[in-house]
A and B are shown apart, each in its own frame.
Chain A
Amino acid sequence: MTIRSLLIANRGEIAVRIIKAAKALGIRTVQVHSAADADMLAVKLADEAIDIGPPAAKKSYLSIPAVINAAKRAGVDAIHPGYGFLSENGDFADAVEAAGMIFIGPKGDAIRLLGDKVAAREVAKKAGVPTVPGSDGRVDGIVAARKVAETTGFPIMIKAAAGGGGRGIRIANNMAELESQFPMASAEALAAFGDGGLYLEKVISRARHVEVQILGDGENVVHCYERECSLQRRRQKVWEEAQAFLLPARVREKLCASAVALAREVKYRGAGTVEYLYDDETQDFYFIEVNTRIQVEHPVTEMITGIDLVQEMIRVAGGARLSVTQNDIVPRGHAIECRINAEDATRDFMPAPGQIGRLSIPEGEGIRFDTMLYAGYSIPPFYDSLLGKLIVWAETRDACLDRLKGALQQLEIGGVPTTVPLHLALAGDDSVRRGAFHTRFLEAWLEAEFSRQLQSKSEVA
């Protein structure tokens, strides 16, 4: 392996996670941080820490020169971008290479190709992966948009070609809405992403969000099976499971093979995720997008496969071949991840930075807590509200839900409101236990079921 030292260009729980993986491989770690993050856990755990700028992310974690200069100063061999920030920025990957270092992830060209939603759709089609009915690439204007809608029907999604993470999406329920929303969506896309390009996709109602974890070394590609990520709020995942337990074996096989075919098409290197919508009724699945990075929910896959995905992505970036073949990867049991955020679930998920008081983390067989927290830590207000991820594994999904409930009850984070009560309610919910949910389930459930539970609690109190 050519990587002996590694700079982590990220923060929070994922920085901690990367440091642990690097240490296990005997690699020296250098953690960059903003002025607001001098006290974060990753800084304490790394061998060296470098201040790269003010709290605003665009002046620190999103500044390519600031990160590259720190890496040069520290003399590292490689940079791991984590998720978010510069992780899917092809220009950053190029800049790292131009500076003579290794970028832990795919090549800049692959990031750009798969990051452009329209181009990625083309790659998927070429690899024989089904895509959601919609426009063939970018739509040139309202006349062309109208034609597409006449074929696919309503509701239809207007999406920014350069968008992602749920941003830049509008839904039109009829032709009049399409006509009024289309120009606004283009203006918004231009303002948000510097690219007013739009494309159209039919809305698959009552779909599940299913995604396949892939690993490539630039030559060989394997899949590490799939995850079920349908429980989302404002298009952000809240709770993730591995595997997608209701998927028929035949569909699973086709789905995973299609993700591998797509990754092969671009000679993928590193860890990545191919995201799909899955229609329970027709058993059809449709490609949505590729995430060319490690994802927040990667631990559920690690729990069922026993593969350390972060170590594997560091190894292949260093020039090693994949350490596993497809036959070596045998999923076992079931895993669920809950994202624990500093948000007040009783006040419309208002984010609540503050100082952590008492901290008590559950331990035991099948329980893992990936976190940035320690007692006394002050959560800065400048970044997202994710505090940690509780991941629970058991032989069966039912046993996993039971173990999860116990772990959530033992998890104590003092000082700030968190989303633990939400996860406790979900873990005890009958629909969740039956797996009777889809991508639009959670928001309706929050309005009806969860607010009823909050109401009855406040009456008792």
Chain B
Amino acid sequence: MSIKQVRAPMPGTFYRSSGPDQPPFKADGDTVTSADTIGLIEVMKTFHTVAAGVDGKALRFLVDNEDPVMAGQVIAEVDE
């Protein structure tokens, strides 16, 4: 079984849900398809969706909600 990585497309603040009172887009252990949104990145007060970009089982987040992220930083891993 190989592990695929999901990287932040841009620097900013990572959010796991669309709002403070909303459920997370994905939970640890969820399966994902490439087009699934797994989070948002806020960069300079604008919000951009982050797609998984890979298909797989058992998603694992490596950063917490509201953590700062750098462009290219691995934010999650997915088991194939």
Contact = CB atoms under 8 A, between A and B. Distances in A.
A62 to B, nearest CB: 13
A353 B43 contact: yes
A26 interface: no
Nearest to B48: A350
Contact of A56 (B45, B46, B68): B68
Given A56-B66, A351-B46, A381 B10 contact: yes
A403 to B, nearest CB: 30
Contacts of A385: 44-45
B75 to A, nearest CB: 14
A330 interface: no
B12 interface: yes
Given A56-B66, A351-B44, A381 B21 contact: no
Contacts of B42: 382
Contacts of A383: 44-45
B66 A384 contact: no
A381 B19 contact: no
Interface string B16-52: 0001010000000000000000000011111000000
Contacts of B12: 381-382
A381 B66 contact: no
A350 B9 CA distance: 13
A342 B13 contact: no
A342 B44 contact: yes
Contacts of B46: 350-351
B13 A55 contact: yes
A294 B41 CA distance: 30
Contacts of A381: 10-13, 43-44
Give the bracket for the number of chain B residues in contact with chain A.
10 to 19
A382 B44 CA distance: 5
B65 to A, nearest CB: 11
Nearest to A58: B66
Given A36-B68, A191-B21, A382-B68, A56 B13 contact: yes
A353 to B, nearest CB: 6
Interface string A365-396: 00000000000000001111100000000000
Interface string B45-70: 11000000000000000000010100
Nearest to B68: A55
A196 to B, nearest CB: 14
A56 B42 CA distance: 11
B71 to A, nearest CB: 9
A13 to B, nearest CB: 14
A264 to B, nearest CB: 35
Contacts of A350: 46
16 contacts: A54-B68, A55-B13, A55-B68, A56-B13, A56-B68, A191-B19, A342-B44, A351-B44, A351-B45, A351-B46, A381-B10, A381-B13, A381-B44, A382-B12, A382-B42, A384-B44
Interface of B: 10-13, 19, 21, 42-46, 66, 68
